[in-house]
Chains A and B, each alone.
Chain A
Amino acid sequence: MANNKEELLKQLADAVVDMDEEKAVELAQIIVAEGIDAYEAIEKGLSAGMEVAGRLFEEEEYFIPELLMCSDAMYAGLGVLKPHLKAKEGAAEEKVKIVIGVIEGDTHDIGKNLVKILLETSGYEIIDLGRDISPQKFIDTAKEQDAKIIAISTLMTTTMDGLAEVIRLLQQQDIREQFKVMIGGAPVSQAFADKIGADSYAVNAATAVRLARQLMESVA
């Protein structure tokens, strides 16, 4: 039985890495039928698989189409497992909240969606505002939700100033210290992040996860 469980969890992780949505669903169903703990299956199967996928992405074995398909397999498996999570596990866990979105004027959200997926699979609770979001909306949501991190992206040079505006507004409202601000997107750079006073700049989605961890460690 133990072997069987380990084997099933490994197969579930592999299904995610292999971008095999049907297999992920099938395995998740078997896992439920076998009475294996859903939380453990999510951790050691689905999340483990996404971690491998994220690493392959960083190593340039996988690119965005592959990573998106891995995440589809992961979410498909999650759909099966989630209803079987024991109530206390869901509630007991205090996840760090991150508000994420694409800045006003910009609708390019592929990068933002990738960051969201990887952060979500790394155990953060993501509040996704979507695209074309005003600076104040980021702040309002972060306050309402008691988020720790505000993650903003833009793909267009013409909207980069919106990122600076979020930080200006936080300063004006005297709440800059309450949130860590992480920025990313093609035209954005470390130099730009330094200039506008962002806490960190993520060059890609995999880096964003690492930076989020660092930011939270620096607070703790």
Chain B
Amino acid sequence: MSNFTPKERLLKILHKEKTDRPPVICPGGMMNAAIVDVMNRGGHVLPIAHSDDKLMAELAVDVFTNTGFENLGIPFCMTVEPEVLGSAVDYGSMKCEPKITQEVFSSSSAVDFREFAVMLQTGRVNTVMQATYNVARRFPDIPVIGNLTGPVSTAASIVDPMIFLKDLRRNPLAAHKVMEYVSDFLIAYAALMIDNGADVISIADPTATGEILGPRMFCEYPLVYINKVVEAIHSQGIPVIVHICGNINAVKHALPELKADGISTDAMVNLRKLKEEFPKLVTMGNVSTYLLEMATPEKVVNNTRHLLQEGIDIIAPACGLSTTTPLDNIKAMSGTVKEK
């Protein structure tokens, strides 16, 4: 028998302490495991669970009990923040995640900076907080992960993304102002999650990749603002996981400057090499989501074993899971980690 509860194990790993084995998790947010198989079993379904706190909590519990992932993850999308900040959102369907239908501002200089105190009572903030509180209270031994949409992705969800990407170069003053505003909002939002029982915060910032921004812009924007959010969360004693999408080669040199406690990467990144290069990084990942969706359980087991052999600190899917991923493949993945 293990001496660690899943919460102890994950927190210890994020604090760079020894444990019996790596945790196997799927944080939530962009990387959630609310697959169709799980929803059919539990009967708590999206899209309505995106905006109903009880259903959101029950779906998080269904994911936890069915998949074998050792965490509870809230919410199931990346649109709570931009919606509160004014953008129009379509909640999607059972199979299809919510999306921004219209960014609220046409450019960085058009952003209307509003008071957080009022905004934090609007949109689905309360839904997320109630759901977080609900699962945290019921499962004291399971880590509850609160998921944030990263600052660049949030900014590019309230300002037209094509314009925003250009503003990073053309109008840096306005772009920085938007980034400050969004980061301060995320800090306040994360603080509420923590007050309601989140044990870990996970930040996914898919627009802030090295492939999209390149090293110079990555260091000027996401690195600065993700760190700002991370430090604010740290001041509350809570660890932070940051997921970086895509190929990280262009920005790899900057990773040690990221103040996150765990770095999660996409499937094409060789985590063993990354660990060799930066031994202090706590690595998370990166079971191919393509394998998880398309391959047999045996192949998933092999992929997972390989990561275990390489000493990856936290085993997790490499990116957002397809909603049609078979539950058996996910169970093969989590089961492989637990048999160790």
Contact = CB atoms under 8 A, between A and B. Distances in A.
Interface of A: 19, 60, 62-66, 68-69, 72, 105-110, 113, 132, 155-161, 186-187, 189, 191-192, 195, 204
A199 to B, nearest CB: 20
A63 B211 contact: yes
A100 to B, nearest CB: 15
Given A60-B250, A65-B165, A68-B165, A158 B95 contact: yes
Contact of B217 (A65, A109, A161, A195): A65
Given A19-B169, A158-B97, A110 B212 contact: yes
Given A63-B217, A65-B166, A69-B170, A157 B212 contact: no
7 contacts: A60-B250, A105-B92, A107-B100, A156-B97, A186-B206, A187-B322, A192-B294
B322 A65 contact: no
Given A65-B168, A65-B169, A157-B322, A110 B214 contact: no
Contacts of B319: 157, 186-187
Given A68-B162, A69-B166, A186-B246, A158 B322 contact: yes
B293 interface: yes
B322 A160 contact: yes
B264 interface: no
Given A158-B96, A160-B322, A186-B246, A66 B290 contact: no
Contact of B320 (A68, A69, A156, A161): A156
B320 A113 contact: no
Given A64-B165, A187-B290, A192-B290, 20 more contacts: A63-B211, A64-B214, A65-B168, A65-B213, A66-B214, A68-B165, A106-B99, A107-B101, A109-B161, A132-B99, A156-B96, A156-B97, A157-B289, A157-B320, A157-B321, A158-B95, A158-B97, A159-B96, A186-B246, A191-B294
